[in-house]
Amino acid sequence: MLGKPFNSLGGRETRTFPTAADKDATIREILDTVYDALAEKGYNPTSQLVGYILSDDPAYITNHKNARSLICRFDRDDLLDAIIRYYFSDKSKAEK
């Protein structure tokens, strides 16, 4: 038998799968942390984030507050997708 299909109470394990909204919320939290870390170190956060997204060079992101490893959790396409959807979210709500 592979794995443990039952929990300690004899019931089946419940699995949850992250939704796009969960992923976007996580990306927003990470971008907020990275933005703050860059600002604290005296960098222009917007310029540094744009440089990272365009080049995929993690050197644009400081290690302060673990920002570099946090932002590297997501592919640049995922970051851009979340940023653009967030930017236009008010517009799409207004059109409905």
Is residue 62 within 8 Å of residue 41, measured between CB atoms? yes
What's the burial of 65, exposed, middle or buried (CB within 10 Å: 0-12/13-18/19+)?
Answer: middle
**Model's pTM, two decimal places?**
0.74
Tens place of pLDDT per residue across the chain (96 aa) = 455 555 555 556 777 667 777 888 999 999 999 999 999 999 999 999 999 999 999 999 999 999 999 999 999 999 999 999 989 987 766 665
Token readout for 72 is 């590297």
